[in-house]
């Protein structure tokens, strides 16, 4: 029971937790009720930056969701132009994270980070389709061990004001490895390799580092109907 509550905190969260705690202390001296509100907000901040361990499927060819949240959109779209992946549309899966989801993002498949591109932009509601085009974003192009390429994009949202990248170009990475986070509430888009179809449905709840988005070795392209415990 304690393990489900007392999970590790991502190092990027400690400065914010300290700020919230100091503010709560000052609010407490000003007014008890304000102080209680400050305590609640501080506890929420701790909860927001939680970083639980995940058990990542290890079979070759599986593409894992990089973000916790809900599949909000499945469509076809051209990857961000700054990644130089051509003008052909690919199947895209968009996972929306609310302020109560774990916001640590994880690599979807083994490979090498070939390109990272940051683009400033607006802070529209991340649930809107146009957010992928107009909002601030950090885009990643990964070459898989089989030579295919996949893109995943951290998109800032209405509340999110900071995208944190924790990997570098040329770095070998593994599925489930942490590569960054977004503060506070946002979305991550995944552009699948050409010819690969998603195995998820809109409205499906995803667990970063564990839930399967697609299978590069699958012979069928029907959506998965079974979830997994998390």
Q: Which residues are known to be catalytic? A: 186
Q: Would you list the DSSP string of the chain? A: -HHHHS--B-GGGHHHHHHHHHHHHHHHHH-HHHHHHHHHHHHHHHHHTB--------STTEEE-SS-EEEEEEEEEPPPGGG---S--EEEEEEEE-TTS--EEE-SSSEEEEEEEEE--B---TTSTTHHHHB-EEEEEEEETTS-EEEEEEEE-SS--EEEE---TT-EE-TT-EEEEEETSEEEEEEPPTTPPP---TT-EE-TTTSEEEETT-S--PPP------
């Amino acid at each position: 029971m304690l393990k489900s509550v007392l999970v590790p905190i991502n190092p990027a969260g400690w400065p914010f937790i300290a700020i919230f705690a100091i503010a709560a202390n000052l609010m407490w001296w000003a007014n008890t009720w304000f102080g209680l509100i400050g305590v609640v907000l501080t506890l929420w901040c701790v909860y927001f930056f939680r970083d639980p361990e995940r058990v990542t499927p290890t079979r070759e060819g599986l593409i894992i969701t990089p973000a916790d949240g809900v599949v909000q959109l499945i469509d076809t779209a051209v990857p961000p132009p700054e990644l130089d992946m051509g003008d052909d549309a690919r199947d895209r899966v968009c996972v929306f994270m609310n302020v109560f989801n774990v916001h640590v993002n994880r690599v979807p498949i083994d490979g090498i980070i070939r390109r990272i591109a940051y683009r400033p932009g607006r802070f529209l509601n991340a649930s809107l389709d146009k957010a992928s085009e107009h909002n601030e974003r950090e885009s990643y192009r990964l070459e898989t061990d089989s030579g295919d390429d996949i893109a995943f994009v951290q998109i800032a949202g209405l509340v999110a004001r900071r995208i944190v990248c924790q990997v570098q170009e040329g770095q070998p990475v593994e599925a489930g490895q942490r590569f960054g986070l977004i503060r506070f509430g946002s979305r991550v888009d995944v552009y699948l390799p050409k010819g690969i179809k998603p195995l998820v449905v809109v409205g499906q709840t995803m667990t970063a580092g564990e839930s399967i988005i697609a299978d590069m070795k699958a012979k069928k392209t029907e959506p998965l109907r079974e979830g997994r415990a998390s």
